[in-house]
């Protein structure tokens, strides 16, 4: 049982974005997982949205780092400093996580060493207790799925660094499959395509803007065009070109095939009864990648299974950790790690995250 006045947080520590849920307040922070450092002095220059604004525009002595790779901590020190900045921004004082309880999401299938690294990062910042929760479980709760029931539900969580497919039943993960490609890899594919096709070099932010604006998973979608600017690789001068949604569809086609194969591989490892439940209950899309135009229809066509998109796909995982922190109505759920369990609230989340 949590102490009455104890701060309790749920953290979705993602490769591209960090979302923090605070008990009693809902979503209190949603910022990019980026850190800007001065290489000469070691000074922390910016974190989150401020650091992201520097990408592609910073001088040589400023290093821009994504402290997480494929959903796990790649740089312990940078992750720790990033979390310290975010929590201070949320609390507005220097007590940070002291005495708090924290549920933090991790990809399913990572090693116990990687899970402990995530938990120790939080405890190192003063938290009284940190529990690593598998992302598909938290995302399913945040999407409102009744996963504590004896029925099968399939969640496809498309994040920045990984895509995770999991079949859930009785509050636990029955079968799962993780793909080390996701939203950020699509951005890189777009950059490579523009470089190869037009001899034009563009940055990460431009590639992400292209994906969000004209990216599509539907070959028959109405054509859209977008003007972009970059550096000509032949002349070395700025140049402007037009891209069409049909071109971006060809870029994401391979990635879409990988998603469908991941779903099939997961269902093949399921008991027949649960596979039958999935056909009836459908697939729940979560994560930022769920916003790709036409994705739900494409997966429905390829698999023959109904597909639903979460009401708040970007905030699902953080909201799910928030449900686990509830003190009102509790049920036993299996938590990643050494067979631990936590309480999860049954019902809907009152606080809605602003996307």
The pLDDT tens digits along the chain (355 residues) read 444 446 778 889 888 999 998 888 888 999 999 999 999 888 999 999 999 999 888 898 999 989 988 777 888 888 888 988 888 888 776 555 666 788 888 888 788 888 888 888 788 777 788 888 889 999 999 999 998 899 999 999 999 888 999 999 998 999 999 998 899 999 999 999 999 999 999 999 999 999 999 999 998 888 999 999 999 999 999 999 999 999 999 999 999 999 999 999 999 999 999 999 999 999 999 999 999 999 999 999 999 999 999 999 998 999 898 787 664 334 444 444 433 333 333 333 333 333 3
Whether 3 maps to a domain, the answer reads: no
Distance separating the N- and C-terminal Cα atoms of the chain: 32
Whether 294 maps to a domain, the answer reads: yes
Do residues 74 and 152 share a domain? no
Do residues 291 and 161 share a domain? yes
Range of the domain at 172: 145-309
Do residues 296 and 170 share a domain? yes
CB 31 within 8 A of CB 85: no
Report pTM: 0.83
Q: Round to whole Å and give the CA distance between 337 and 115.
A: 7
CATH code (residue 155): 3.30.420.40
3-state secondary structure at position 181:
coil
What total of structural domains would you count in the chain? Answer: 2
Whether 14 maps to a domain, the answer reads: yes
Do residues 270 and 155 share a domain? yes
88, burial (CB in 10 Å: exposed 0-12, middle 13-18, buried 19+): middle
Do residues 63 and 184 share a domain? no
Do residues 319 and 268 share a domain? no
Do residues 121 and 154 share a domain? no
Of 223, 221, 215, the closest CA to residue 252 belongs to 215
Whether 352 maps to a domain, the answer reads: no
């Amino acid at each position: 049982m949590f102490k009455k006045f104890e701060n309790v947080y749920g953290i979705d520590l993602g490769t591209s974005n960090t979302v923090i849920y605070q008990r009693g307040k809902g979503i209190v922070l949603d910022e990019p997982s980026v850190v800007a450092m001065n290489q000469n002095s070691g000074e922390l220059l910016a974190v989150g949205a401020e650091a992201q604004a520097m990408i592609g525009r910073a001088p040589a002595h400023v290093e821009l780092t994504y402290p997480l790779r494929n959903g796990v901590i790649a740089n312990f020190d940078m992750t720790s400093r990033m979390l310290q900045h975010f929590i201070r921004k949320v609390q507005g004082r220097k007590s940070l996580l002291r005495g708090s309880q924290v549920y933090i999401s991790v990809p399913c299938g990572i090693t116990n060493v990687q899970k402990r690294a995530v938990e120790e990062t939080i405890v190192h910042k003063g938290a009284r207790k940190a529990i690593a929760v598998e992302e598909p479980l938290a995302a399913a709760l945040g999407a409102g799925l009744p996963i504590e029931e004896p029925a099968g539900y399939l969640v496809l969580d498309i994040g920045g660094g990984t895509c995770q497919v999991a079949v859930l039943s009785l509050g636990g993960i029955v079968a799962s499959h993780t793909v080390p490609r996701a939203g950020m890899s699509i951005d890189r594919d777009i950059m490579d395509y523009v470089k190869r096709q037009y001899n034009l070099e563009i940055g990460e932010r431009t590639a992400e803007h292209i994906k969000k604006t004209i990216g599509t998973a539907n070959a028959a979608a109405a054509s859209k065009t977008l003007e972009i600017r970059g550096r000509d690789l032949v002349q070395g001068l700025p140049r402007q070109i037009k891209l069409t949604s049909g071109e971006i569809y060809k870029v994401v086609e391979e990635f879409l095939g990988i998603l469908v194969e991941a779903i099939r591989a997961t269902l093949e490892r399921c008991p027949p009864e649960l596979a039958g439940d999935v056909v009836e209950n459908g697939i729940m899309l979560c994560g930022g990648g769920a916003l790709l135009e036409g994705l739900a229809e494409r997966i429905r066509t390829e698999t023959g299974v109904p597909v639903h998109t979460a009401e708040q796909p970007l905030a699902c995982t953080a909201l799910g950790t928030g449900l686990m922190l509830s003190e009102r109505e509790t049920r036993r759920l299996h938590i990643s790690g050494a067979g631990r369990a936590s309480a999860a609230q049954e019902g809907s989340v009152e606080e809605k995250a602003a996307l």
